[in-house]
Amino acid sequence: MTVHRPPTRVALIGAGAIAQVVHLPMLSRMRGVEIAAVSDRDAHTARTIADRYGTRAVEAQRIWDDPTIQGVVVSTPSHRHEENVRDALRAGKHVLCEKPLALSAEAVRGLLAEDGAADRLMVGMNQRFRPDAQALRSFVVSGELGDTFYLKTGWLNRTRPSGRLRSWRLMRSAGGGALMDLGLQMLDLALWTLGYPRPLRVSAHTHRAGEAEVEDAAVLLLHLEGGRVVNLEVTWALISRRDRQFLHVLGTSGSGSLAPLQVFRQMDTGMVDVAPSLPAGSENLYTASYRNQLQYFMEAVRGEKRLETPAEHVRLMRIMEAAYQSAEEGREIDLSGEE
């Protein structure tokens, strides 16, 4: 006999671009999921988006007070994440928060100390949910590529028409520019691929256009324990026909890269292409990563998957803080004595 259970109710805090383009369309099509409410400081936006998805626009407190809402997706501007996540955890909700969890390592530590953070909190690092990234990581952590000693990654986005990026992302008080917005995801992907080794030292350079508050481009060189190095490049201002996103791994016995997924190993018989064939999908890997992430979160809300404490986010944010310090002071920052 088939058992029909009520839908899992989830609410959105923040109805901006990522909610409109990713979270709401995907959640609305997930079986067994009900979008219970949408909240945004812009009441008109909240009402418009809520009407589109057949739900209600409410103040955030209504969501915290509603015991039938089990999960919350936080997609507000970065400088509001800390407050939103704390409120959601204290209300007993499962929380998926877009990156960053907070704007400093110390603030992240504070959130991780909240009751429920250990098993009800997830940070939106969707790159980890890309099928090709998961396949490449398996080769690295298993040692099949030998000792991985160098990883180069980047996210280079084309210059947009004037005014397209005029938002909270261009405000220093919101947390930073291209390095925080694009670099945080790719740095996390790099460190996750390597098993999140301890950082030793970092140096960075940022570029600002004119009187801009934040950087539109940055490069970072991160030295890790075990003699490994990560090189990161990001920009919002690439002059090109297309955006570029990449990750390359060098090991003593092989190499790998994204995208497309390529993996080569050195065998006794010579170099061999060992990249697995990924199932063909109807959507690109970036879209699939968001769908997989949301599906995982909803399964965790239902108790079908376990969420692990996102403790790595402390290390990630400390590296970012040191990178900005390095760029401002023009010197390498030593991280070896921390943690």
Domain ranges of the chain: 8-124, 128-283+313-334
Tell the CATH superfamily of the 8-124 domain. NAD(P)-binding Rossmann-like Domain (3.40.50.720)
How far is Cα 73 from Cα 97, in angstroms, rounded to an integer? 6
pLDDT of residue 172: 75
pLDDT of residue 175: 76
Helix (H, G, I), strand (E, B) or coil at 218: strand
CA nearest neighbour of 221 among 116, 312, 151, 306:
151
User: Average pLDDT for consecutive 10-residue bins of the chain (339 residues)?
Assistant: 78 94 95 96 94 95 97 95 97 97 96 96 96 95 96 91 58 81 96 97 94 92 97 94 94 94 87 79 79 97 94 97 96 90
pLDDT of residue 171: 73
Helix (H, G, I), strand (E, B) or coil at 49: helix
CA nearest neighbour of 159 among 275, 237, 54, 250:
237
pLDDT of residue 200: 98
pTM given for the model: 0.92
How far is Cα 93 from Cα 73, in angstroms, rounded to an integer? 10
pLDDT of residue 213: 87
What CATH class is the domain 128-283+313-334? Answer: alpha beta
Cβ burial of 287 (10 Å; 0-12, 13-18, 19+) is middle
Fold match, 8-124 / 128-283+313-334:
no
pLDDT of residue 163: 47
pLDDT of residue 284: 80
